[in-house]
Structure 1
Amino acid sequence: MEVAFWSGRSDDLGYLNQEYTELNHALLYGVLTVPQFAKIHIKHLHGIVSDGYALFVSLALRVVLELYNKLVDSVKQQLIWVVHEIVGVSGVGFDGLLVGLLRHTVGCDYTDRGLWLCFELINLFLANFTSLLEEEPSVLTSALYVYLRLLADHCRVSGNVRVDLLKKLEIEFCVKMLRGQFHLSMKIGRDLVRLLQDLVHVPEFRCIWKDLVLDATTFRTEGFSDVAQLYSTRTSSRYFLLRVTPEMELQLRFLLVHVKFSHLKRYQMWFAKKFLFEPERETLIVDMIRFICCAHHPSNEIIHSDSVPRWAIIGWLLSCCRKKYVEANAKLALFYDWLFFDERMDNIMNIEPAMLLMVCSMPQYVGMTQSLLEFLLLLVDNYDQVRSYTIAKGVSLAFNSLVTEGVNSLDTLTSCDALSPFLKERLKKLLSSTNETLPHQLYPGRLSHCSADASPLETPSSHPKHEPAGA
């Protein structure tokens, strides 16, 4: 292999850069498609590398994010092998490569292919735990978020030997993080509590949960003494991206940016067929709602256009829930930031969809409004009875901010004849008990999508079994 001597001229530098790029492309292709020569290709890569493997890693990441689902099994196996190699040499950007692969793990996918990726990654994290802790500890926090979420699905499966073995590894990793590296675990923020709450029935996590809510000092983490400190830490949107695959993210953003409200039903058919028709995939709705609320914030231009609003997609997703526990988790995902809202650190866009869904469902779908408001008030009373005042104040501040920012007036809820008088009285009592002065003017600026004739609430079971042309 000949490499031209660099004379220092810009055209020589360009030639070398082009050759280096082409060599990286060729070596990645060879590693992925010709397994018997993979070790030789990696040796060649080690020999030519001049950028800390940054270019090679970026090319591998493109494969992960753009092509993974189209790869044959042998190429996927080689991809995992090369990731092990890159982690071993601490290639620049390897953390992004791991995060990209984590996004392709799906908790409700119990096929051999789906479980295989979960196995490969959890083994990688356990085998390289010490080195990752030293070099890229944030990727361990991302893995913790993912595997806590996966466990919520995997722990509902019994009688599957492969899932049982996977659960043991997942529990080992998560407990290792929570007990030994809680200072990293708590970087997740308040959603760490939400995920742990879903695993209280698992003995290993029941003990962790008790310590968290009753004696947080057992975690021996400087500056941490009460679960309320997690409540007050908003979870970064990057964690919600971890639980929607790149393909799901692409299609959800397409729905929320490019689809007009009048065309929504045909795209719902297509989306449901692709992601929601299989019964076990229903749990994905929780992650989708969290993503829409916290990781997709449309511009003012989109908000005031006739594109499908976030509240409409969320309302439809809620109507797709068949299992009661999935519906409850989905509503919790919708309202979670309300419970601890603080306008100094929280984003009003995270709580806006729930308010607009309650308001825009009236009067035609008042049952949706009543169900959501009832659930929110139950959360105030029961989510954490020891800290109930803190939660009541958070919800009250959320309403206050929504009214102040012009999302809607509280009169829309408190004066609706179709709503239960008991719920309206409970809401008024909540707001008055927290001593917040709430304005009641109507600000219609963001309500262009609200219409009694708008019907986002189509369920997968009512969709025809075909893909609409052009979708």
Structure 2
Amino acid sequence: MEQKSKSKLLISTSLDAKDELEERLDRCVALVSSMINGVSEREANDALNAYVCKGASQHEDVCLGLFTLVLSEPAQAQKCYRDLALVSRDGMNIVLNKINQLLMEKYLKLQDTCRTQLAWLVRELVKSGVLGADGVCMTFMKQIAGGDISAKNIWLAESVLDILMDQREWVMKSSILIAMSVYTYLRLIVDHHGTPQLLVLRQKEVDFCTMLLRERVMERHL
């Protein structure tokens, strides 16, 4: 079936109705691009800050525009994330809510680039200590399908695992995140048993679950 080429976020066909969320995000990208393209970084920051000061609606539009650029333009991701951190006045709540919405409602339709960038963005939010990043990690984990050893599902399982392992101390601060991580990866260990190409990933999952369970037991004895 013919695919539309315009969409940078969602995979769609010529028969699909226009996606309202994507149209909204495209408008936000156009708005932000008009402020940051062709000017110095200082001028871009001034323009973005002046615009978000106008009100809640303008603040949301700029945050969503920068968020969408992070997902759709990997080369600009670092700069756009920096800008987002500077202009966000709600502790990244708008962005966290939109990540959750995309993961729960649109994950299977997301372009591969956007999936990769979502993982990158979640890692950055965790590293920055953004309140609520644990909830986004759990939503990400919920997208890992049980009994599915397709390349995309394996990529997702490993990407989330890498974030959790890299940010181990942060994970240990959240009992609910620990519980869900153990539940998710104990199930995946079973799925990945007996598949030679998944041996390395399965061992990482075993090591991760063992570490979490051991540390929890030790904490209870302190």
TM-score by length of 2: 0.73
Q: Distance in 1 between matches of 2:66 and 2:52?
A: 22
Higher helix fraction (1 or 2): 2
1:65, distance to aligned residue in structure 2 (A): 0.8
Aligned Cα RMSD in Å? Answer: 2.0
Q: Structure 1 vs Structure 2: percent identity of aligned residues? A: 22
Distance change (3 Å), C-alpha of 1:5 and 1:51: closer
1:96, distance to aligned residue in structure 2 (A): 1.3
Q: Could you say which residue in structure 1 is the equivalent of 2:89?
A: 50
Q: Which runs of 5+ in 2 are unaligned?
A: 1-46
Distance change (3 Å), C-alpha of 1:154 and 1:44: same
Q: Distance in 2 between matches of 1:178 and 1:40?
A: 38
Q: Distance in 2 between matches of 1:32 and 1:5?
A: 21
1:73, distance to aligned residue in structure 2 (A): 1.0
Q: Distance in 1 between matches of 2:61 and 2:220?
A: 48
Q: Could you say which residue in structure 2 is the equivalent of 1:178?
A: 213
Which structure has more relative contact order (CA 8 Å, sep 6+)? It is 2
Q: Distance in 1 between matches of 2:221 and 2:52?
A: 55
Residue of 83, 86, 93 corresponding to 2:122: 83
Q: Could you say which residue in structure 2 is the equivalent of 1:151?
A: 189
Q: Distance in 2 between matches of 1:97 and 1:16?
A: 26
Per-residue CA deviation, residues 316-340 of structure 1 (Å, 9 max, x unaligned), is: xxxxxxxxxxxxxxxxxxxxxxxxx
TM-score by length of 1: 0.36
Residue of 146, 151, 171 corresponding to 1:107: 146
Contact 2:125 2:133 in 1 (8 A): yes
Which structure has the greater CA radius of gyration? 1
User: Is structure 2 residue 206 aligned with structure 1 residue 167?
Assistant: no
Contact 1:132 1:140 in 2 (8 A): yes
Q: Distance in 1 between matches of 2:170 and 2:75?
A: 28
Q: Which runs of 5+ in 1 are unaligned?
A: 7-14, 183-218, 224-471
Per-residue CA deviation, residues 155-208 of structure 1 (Å, 9 max, x unaligned), is: 2x23x22x11110110001000111213xxxxxxxxxxxxxxxxxxxxxxxxxx
Q: Could you say which residue in structure 2 is the equivalent of 1:70?
A: 109
Q: Distance in 2 between matches of 1:4 and 1:75?
A: 26
Matched pairs, number = 175
Contact 2:51 2:58 in 1 (8 A): no
Q: Distance in 2 between matches of 1:111 and 1:170?
A: 17
Question: What does 1:310-459 align with in structure 2 at a 5 Å threshold?
Answer: none
Contact 1:28 1:60 in 2 (8 A): no
Q: What amino acid is the match of 2:181?
A: A
